[in-house]
């Protein structure tokens, strides 16, 4: 069965000739969990090599636009079952993770850039600009030592990256270092294959001139390679294979999914780029646990709610999928919305939405400055100068000062009561919380922690400052005497 019969697609009615162009839902009996997964992806291997780089090597990586890979966190292990589940929920034709008819996470090539910080240029890696002659391929292999018997491509690239490269090195050595870095990260993280220690050469045409590397759309290449891996996984599911090897950068789907579903207190602010740098080992494990549907049976994550567009940084925040717009409408044959089949319209709507958001920012008005007793006294002096020294003026100023005192006292009391209310509410929640224990957490995020006494800030002791305090008593006829 082809990929068009995926269980995660949404039923779309239209012309008979176009029926096979969209993924149809699987019968309930075929909605099975993916087979036991394995993968050649290794973030740890890349980090171990990057940690040996000096400042000059990091600068060479930055020059080709792959500086986002320098911010990869140390991920010893990945949850491959979670990766297989997210891949099984991908609709290849729509480029989206489909959880249900109303919960769809559409992704774009630009989102690869948001997650990993790699170039997303205008040149096609597999297009005419990426053509390379066989002689150039042999030259790269020879220079990097990949032509030797028994030397695998990724191993040879790693050995070249560990060489001493400095400003005094030749241009050929610097270029080969940049080429070796891309081959290494593509083979271990961005486009891993099924065979150990081997990488594809489909993108080598984009490496022929290192000055043009940043002009290619590496994000689109990584995304297309991942979608091919999704097709392979679904074919294994259709064939009821007990095992499968995950191909492509399924780590992107993990980060994208966890960044776009509502996990409550575990939601991350999208103020750090690339997004992968905000997910360490514990963070990924905890967020996956929070996203897991509670219950027996295979792990599932379909009950997660989707985060709102204004709270995320991905491309889907600027557009709305056609299925999301018509989720409350019944689909009628022959009247299908073709929005999801035209990526050009998606881009135009995205740009228009971004422009509208920028225009709305110009409508924000500057708030007025807070007024105080000094402003009241200045108003009395400028508008009623003849009454400045009159008893009436002093009475008004005194009454205004009393009002300000009562307002300040009320503000402090309200804030103090609010602090007590928060502690009381969180204590009640932490006592009745069962979701954390059900997910295996040893502590509840709502449980308060005692602050360290060593970090408390105290007012330093100093000599008493002499001053005069006015008696603000409201009693009439009482004698006002200064107190020191």
Is residue 336 included in any domain, yes or no? no
Instruction: Indicate if 135 and 227 belong to the same structural domain.
Output: yes
- Domain endpoint, select from 347, 380, 406: 347
Q: Are residues 253 and 393 in the same domain?
A: no
SS3 272: coil
Number of folded domains that form the chain: 2
Whether 284 and 405 map to the same domain: the answer is no
H/E/C letters for each residue in 409-465? HHHHHHHHHHHHHHHHHHHHHHHHCCHHHHCCCCCCCCCCCCCCHHHCCCCCCCCCC
Give residue 342's pLDDT: 52
Both 292 and 405 in one domain: the answer is: no
Write out the two tokens for 220: 């689109």
Q: Is residue 122 domain-resident?
A: yes
Q: What is the pLDDT of residue 320?
A: 54
**Does one domain contain both 268 and 403?**
no
- 15 lies in some domain: no
Last residue of a domain, one of 390, 415, 440: 415
Q: Which domain holds residue 383?
A: 372-415
Report if residue 450 sits inside a domain.
Answer: no
* DSSP string across 346-372: HHHHHHHHHHHHHHHHTTPPPPPPPP-
Is the pTM value of this prediction over 0.75?
Answer: no
User: Which secondary-structure segment (H or E) carries 219?
Assistant: helix 218-238
Please check whether residues 114 and 236 belong to one and the same domain: yes
Per-residue pLDDT, 24: 43
Backbone angles phi, psi at 286, to 5 degrees: -70, -40
Please tell me the predicted confidence (pLDDT) of residue 22.
Answer: 38
Assess whether 323 and 407 both reside in one domain: no
- Residue segments in the chain with a per-residue pLDDT below the cut of 70: 1-31, 149-152, 196-199, 296-297, 319-370, 438, 452-484
pLDDT at 468: 60
For residues 318 and 387, membership in a common domain is answered with no
Residues 386, 318 share a domain:
no
Residues 384 and 296 in one domain: no
* Residue ending a domain, choose from 391, 415, 439: 415
pLDDT (tens digit, 9 = 90+) per residue, 221-250? 999 999 999 999 999 999 999 999 999 999
């Amino acid at each position: 069965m082809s990929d068009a019969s995926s269980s995660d697609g949404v039923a779309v009615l239209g012309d008979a000739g176009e029926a096979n162009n969209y993924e149809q839902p699987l019968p309930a009996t075929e909605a099975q969990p993916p087979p036991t997964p394995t993968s050649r992806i290794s973030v740890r291997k890349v980090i171990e090599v990057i940690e040996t780089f000096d400042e000059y090597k990091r600068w060479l990586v930055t020059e080709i636009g792959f500086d986002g890979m320098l911010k990869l966190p140390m991920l010893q292990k990945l949850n491959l079952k979670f990766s297989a589940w997210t891949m099984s929920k991908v609709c290849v034709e729509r480029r989206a993770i489909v959880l249900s008819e109303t919960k769809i996470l559409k992704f774009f090539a630009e989102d690869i850039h948001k997650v990993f910080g790699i170039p997303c240029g205008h040149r096609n890696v597999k297009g005419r600009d990426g053509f390379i002659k066989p002689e150039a391929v042999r030259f790269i292999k020879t220079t990097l030592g990949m032509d030797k018997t028994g030397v695998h491509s990724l191993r040879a690239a790693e050995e070249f990256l560990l060489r001493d490269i400095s400003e005094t090195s030749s241009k050929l050595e610097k270029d080969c270092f940049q080429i070796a870095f891309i081959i290494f990260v593509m083979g271990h993280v961005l486009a891993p294959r099924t065979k150990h220690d081997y990488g594809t050469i489909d993108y080598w045409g984009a490496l022929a001139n290192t000055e043009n590397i940043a002009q290619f759309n590496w994000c689109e290449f990584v995304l297309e390679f991942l979608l091919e891996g999704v097709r392979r996984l679904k074919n294994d599911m259709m064939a009821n294979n007990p095992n499968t090897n995950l191909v492509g950068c399924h780590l992107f789907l993990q980060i994208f999914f966890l960044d776009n579903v509502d996990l409550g207190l575990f939601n991350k602010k999208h103020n750090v780029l690339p997004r992968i740098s905000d997910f360490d080992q514990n963070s990924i494990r905890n967020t996956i646990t929070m996203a897991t549907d509670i219950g027996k049976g295979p792990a599932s994550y379909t009950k997660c709610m989707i985060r709102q567009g204004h709270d995320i940084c991905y491309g889907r925040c600027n557009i709305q999928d056609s299925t999301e717009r018509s989720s409350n409408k019944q689909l009628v044959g022959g009247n299908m919305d073709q929005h999801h089949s035209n990526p050009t319209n998606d881009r135009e709507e995205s740009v228009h939405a971004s422009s509208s958001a920028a225009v709305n920012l110009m409508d924000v008005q500057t708030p007025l400055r807070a007024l105080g007793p000094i402003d009241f006294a200045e108003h009395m002096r400028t508008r009623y100068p003849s009454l400045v020294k009159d008893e009436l003026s002093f009475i008004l100023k005194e009454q205004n000062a009393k009002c300000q005192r009562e307002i300040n006292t009320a503000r402090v009391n309200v804030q103090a009561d609010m602090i007590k209310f928060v502690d009381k509410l969180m204590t009640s929640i932490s006592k009745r919380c069962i979701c954390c224990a059900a997910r295996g957490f040893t502590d509840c995020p709502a449980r308060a922690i005692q602050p360290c006494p060593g970090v408390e800030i105290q007012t330093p002791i100093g000599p008493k400052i002499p001053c005069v305090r006015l008696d603000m008593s409201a009693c009439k006829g009482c004698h006002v005497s200064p107190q020191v």
